[in-house]
Structure 1
Amino acid sequence: MVDTAAFEALIRRVDTLEAEASIVKVLFRLGMTLDYGEHDAWLDCFVPDASFQMVEVSETDRVVRVQHTSRDALAAFIPGHSHAPEHFHKHLVGDPVVEVDGDTATSTSYLTRIDKGADGPFLWSFGRYLDTFQRCDDGRWRVRSRIIEVESRAAPVKASDIGSK
C-alpha cells in the first residue's frame, strides 16, 4: 500500500528540484548568450514585462547605470553590449541560491566577469545578481526582474561596456 501523503510530498520535492535546476540553467544561459552575442536566446530568458537594472554599489552609494522595463527595451539595449569575437569576456555565475514558491522564484548569485586583455585574462568586475523568476505558460522559467549589483570593477564604466550608445 502506498502512503499517499508521502508520495505527494515526494512529488512536491521533485518538482521543486526540477524548478531549481531549470532556473540555474537560465542563469547560465544568460551569461553564455550575452558573451557570444546570441541576442534572441538572451531575450528569451525574460518575460515580456521584465525589469532589468545594473547598479554600481559601494559602502555608501548606489548608482543606477542601466535600467529597462520591458523585453522590447532589452532588445534595443542588447546589440550594444560587447561580445565575441570582437571582445572576449565571460560572465560567470556562482553559488546560486534559489527559492521556489509555486510559479515564482527568487535567486541570489555571485557574478564575476573575466575579460581578455593584452597581457592575458583579467578580472573585470564582480558583484551579485538578484533575480526573480516566473514559470511561463510554456512551462519555462524566465526572469521577471534582474538587479545586477556591481561591487567592484577594473576601470570606470564606459557606455560601450554596458550596451548604451
Structure 2
Amino acid sequence: MGPVRPNPSRPTASAASADVLEIHRLKFRYVRTLDSKLWEDFAETMIPEATATYSEYLQFESREAYLTFLRNTLGPHVITEHRCDHPEIDVDGDRATGIWYLSDTVLIPENNMLLRGAAFYTDEYVRCDDGRWRIAHTGYERTYEVVLSLSDLPSLRLTANRWGLTQHSDGIESVERDPRETVRRDETPEESIGGSDQEHPGSEHRAAG
C-alpha cells in the first residue's frame, strides 16, 4: 500500500489548530471588550452583517443594531462579568462554528440587583478578506439564571468599580471614567451598596451579552 497523498483542499492539522487558536482569541477579546465597554474594539470582533439571538424577543439583524442595544443597556451603571470556557470549535475552510460554556454575573447597584447565570453560546465565524476571523452570529440559551436583591446581602460592599461611585477624602461623588484612563492615586474606590426602591431591572438588562 502506497503512501497517502495529502489532499490540497483539506487544511493541514497545524493550519486547523492555528484557526482554532485564533477563534479562541476572538471569543476572549469579545467578552473582554464587552465587560470593559470598549465598544469600538468590540465592534471589530463582528462583521457588519452579524446577527445575534438571545430569545424570541431579543434578536438583532446587524452589528450596529446589536451594538446600539448593548451601549444603551450596559452603560456605566451596569457591571458585567462574562467567562467562557469548554470551547467546541469546528472549522470548515473559511467558516467555523463554536459552542462555549458561559458563566456570567451582572451587578446593578442603583437597582439593588445581582444576577448570576450560565448558558451555552452558539457562534458562527467567518474568515474575512484581511485574514482575520470574526463573528457572523452569536447567541446563547440559558441553563439557569438567578436574581438576588442586594438588600438580602447587608454585609456586601462594592470596594472597586471602574465606572461608578468613587470615595474621596471629602465624601463620595459620581465619576464617569473612560475605561482607558488610569485612576488617580488619591482615588480609593469604595462604595457601600445601599438599598433602592427598584429591586430588579427589566429583562433588557438581563438577557444579552
Shorter-chain TM band? 0.7 to 0.9
Distance 1:140 1:81, change over 3 A: farther
Structure 2, gaps ≥5 residues long: 148-199
1:12 is the counterpart of 2:4: no
User: Which of 44, 64, 69 is the aligned partner of 1:77?
Assistant: 69
State whether residues 107 and 115 of structure 2, in contact with CA within 8 Å, keep that contact through their aligned partners in structure 1: no
- Provide the rounded CA distance (Å) in 2 between the counterparts of 1:117 and 1:79: 15
**In the alignment, what sits opposite 1:113?**
104
Equivalent residues in 2 for 1:136-147, closer than 5 Å: 136-147=128-139
- Provide the rounded CA distance (Å) in 1 between the counterparts of 2:67 and 2:74: 14
Q: Please, what TM-score do these two structures have when normalized by structure 2? A: 0.62
Deviation of 1:94 after TM superposition, in Å, equals 1.2
Distance 1:35 1:151, change over 3 A: same
Deviation of 1:29 after TM superposition, in Å, equals 1.1
1:32 is the counterpart of 2:32: yes
Point out the structure with max Rg over C-alpha. Answer: 2
**In the alignment, what sits opposite 1:158?**
202
% identity of equivalent residues: 24
- Provide the rounded CA distance (Å) in 2 between the counterparts of 1:22 and 1:65: 32
Structure 1, gaps ≥5 residues long: 56-63
Q: Which has the higher strand share?
A: 1
State whether residues 80 and 163 of structure 1, in contact with CA within 8 Å, keep that contact through their aligned partners in structure 2: no
How many residues of Structure 1 are paired with residues of Structure 2 in the alignment? 150
Task: Tell me the secondary structure at the aligned position of residue 74 of structure 2.
Answer: coil
1:96 is the counterpart of 2:140: no
Provide the alpha-carbon RMSD of the alignment.
Answer: 3.0
Q: Structure 1 residues 35-44 or 68-77, which shifts more?
A: 68-77
**In the alignment, what sits opposite 2:124?**
132
User: 4+ residue runs of structure 1 moved beyond 6 angstroms?
Assistant: none
**In the alignment, what sits opposite 2:182?**
none
1:50-78, CA deviations, whole angstroms, 9 ceiling, x for partnerless residues? Answer: 110113xxxxxxxx241101112123212
Deviation of 1:162 after TM superposition, in Å, equals 4.8
Q: Please, what TM-score do these two structures have when normalized by structure 1? A: 0.77
- Provide the rounded CA distance (Å) in 2 between the counterparts of 1:75 and 1:117: 20
